[in-house]
Structure 1
């Protein structure tokens, strides 16, 4: 369905939501090139600082888990504003930390604020759109949002060359402050277009159980989780993979990293033409299969043959790039099941996604042995998991009877009618 109000410009809303969700990739990707420098400054190992990526992902998951159901009850804007305030304050404090332990604590708190801000994005889209329209909106948001991870490492490298790693977090303070003003003056409250949660406040958390009991929808959530964990596995170990293992300079690292984002954008732009011919779940099955094939090739190239940058980078690009197809279609298929608790559904999906990414990062760090075997095993395991979920658990929600005017009536088929949203 279309947006229920003519005063909502879909492209303008997509731009705003994409800028809001970009607080996450900016907070993660901008400081990746600075991790070795931060480790040297703290007198710690590179992996000790890389743990802050996993710490951030855990906080991000928790922020969404708490913020999602609250946004269903009190609205999207208050949660987004609260999250941005936390994000700005903690980013400022990080500029003064002097150890990897203090960094991890503040990154955790920073991520909670980021989780509050991010969780309202998917919920806002679900407030306004269904089905393929939601998938198109998610794809539009994603392609705009992907500008952030494309430029973030380059910006981080430039700041590192001209200033120091603290300048990166000053940039996050500036960006978070700008988003705070933008949300305050421009973001609409989308819950007015759908009924808010009207039950007792003490029961709002039980809505998570309702989501988890919807097995077919959970299949899409876990598909998205597995496919994303492939990306997070690479993301966590990418500084070691490219800078330490292959000897790439920090100045070149952003370009190799940016190659992945370019493929994500290309896949994302292919999504709309594909939606004219295929359903969301069909695209998801194809994309997950391609990702698995790329990860298998990557695993063999690194662990069976002699690994080189020229063989590894293309397979990483395809494996990570498939997120451009898996993310919007898995999200749209999942959210289709939950029209009235979009915040809760988004929170659960996001929290499990980022918590799994953090778990993958911690496993890679724990089993790190100076080779790329741990990261490739992690990527392979999660790619297999995603394919099992999408092929054997996930099942798309049937179209609502009121939207298909050419379909037989419930009395003709004997089926129980689905209530209109």
Structure 2
């Protein structure tokens, strides 16, 4: 639960304010698209927070970086709530991204500190479930707050969440990196850590695999309103129900993964889930080609694809982490950056590709993410540590 609180900071911060964009644009006197840039600024900050927080946690320990990220998050969230200009909002969104990158990165690193093999995969299943489900829940929470109050209260709500997470971290998060295992703090050392991670055998394939689930999920998330309201014609209430059903699908995938880990190796589970996703994406493409896009055909297909994704990312992350005996902070910084920036780029690509009512771009981008993940699976066929060590 504590790790889930930490990892949820980033997706909640990134997406909870989305329903408030029209009100914010009107108050700042700018076009809606200018507010959309705050997501780009947030992701840039998140990447920096991951890449800087990882080596820092390897040198200073996990708790100081997690708590430092929470303090920065509180400052940034309150700054977003009190600002009266778009320029300062951008600044505070960057700081929010840095803070969530630091704290969220520590949560995944702690998993590797305390567990390996299937045990790590079970813990990572819960962590990644929150990471993937929170972006689907966040806009609904933001809309609820907006219905009761002003857009500023969305950021106040995030600050309150940060206080709760900070108290929980201070009270219950143990220091999982002994002083004897910490590395010296230096820029050269940090760069050396990243070089070691990127040149470790098996890393490129695992990073390609890690792009699969988030890439498909962000492609849907970015274009959900277009698909469900623009193409299917759902009203706001129906959209909320259909959107929320995706969380249920991912929960089912999460539980299936927990069950599967009792009987199968992590690599076999990834193989099964990739096959399931391939079938689901093929179904979505066939719907568009045959002009059979309906509520009863499109929504079940999307639920099937996203549910299967819930079985891929946690297992790949556990296998990726098992490639390293030291420098887990740097390793998780790279994987976290790939997850968010890569997933966001897939979603942006589908949005830019869309034209009129032609929704073929969405399943085709999903297919691209799936194909890269499949190639990554093939590349890692000789570097599957869980096959050997997680029985």
The TM-score with structure 2 as length reference comes to 0.89
Cα offsets for 1:189-222 (capped at 9, x unmatched): 1002982225866222211111111232331222
Among residues 207, 221, 226, which one is paired with 1:235 in the alignment? Answer: 221
Structure 2 distance, partners of 1:284, 1:100, is: 43
1:284 to 1:243, Cα distance in 2 relative to 1, 3 A: same
Partner of 2:55: 69
Structure 2 distance, partners of 1:48, 1:200, is: 37
Deviation at 1:146, TM superposition (A): 6.7
Deviation at 1:45, TM superposition (A): 5.3
Structure 2 distance, partners of 1:238, 1:305, is: 19
Return 43-52 or 115-124, whichever deviates more. 43-52
Q: 1:127 touches 1:339 (CA, 8 Å); kept in 2?
A: no
Unaligned runs of 5+ in 2: none
The TM-score with structure 1 as length reference comes to 0.83
Partner of 2:77: 91
Q: 2:108 touches 2:332 (CA, 8 Å); kept in 1?
A: yes
Partner of 2:368: 381
Q: 1:143 touches 1:269 (CA, 8 Å); kept in 2?
A: no
Q: Which runs of structure 2 are paired with 1:8-407 in the superposition (5 Å)? A: 15-39=1-25, 42=28, 46-97=32-83, 103-143=89-129, 148-149=134-135, 151-192=137-178, 195-198=181-184, 202-302=188-288, 304-371=290-357, 372-394=359-381, 395-397=383-385
Return 92-101 or 349-358, whichever deviates more. 92-101
Alignment root-mean-square deviation, CA:
2.8
Figure out how many residues of one structure are paired with residues of the other and give that number.
Answer: 389
Structure 1 distance, partners of 2:296, 2:41, is: 32
Return 22-31 or 228-237, whichever deviates more. 22-31
Deviation at 1:359, TM superposition (A): 2.1
In terms of fraction of residues, the more helix-rich structure is: 2
Cα offsets for 1:274-318 (capped at 9, x unmatched): 112211111111112212221222233235414333322222222
Structure 1 distance, partners of 2:94, 2:288, is: 33
Unaligned runs of 5+ in 1: 1-14, 405-421
Structure 1 distance, partners of 2:312, 2:38, is: 26
Structure 2 distance, partners of 1:245, 1:258, is: 18
Deviation at 1:133, TM superposition (A): 0.9
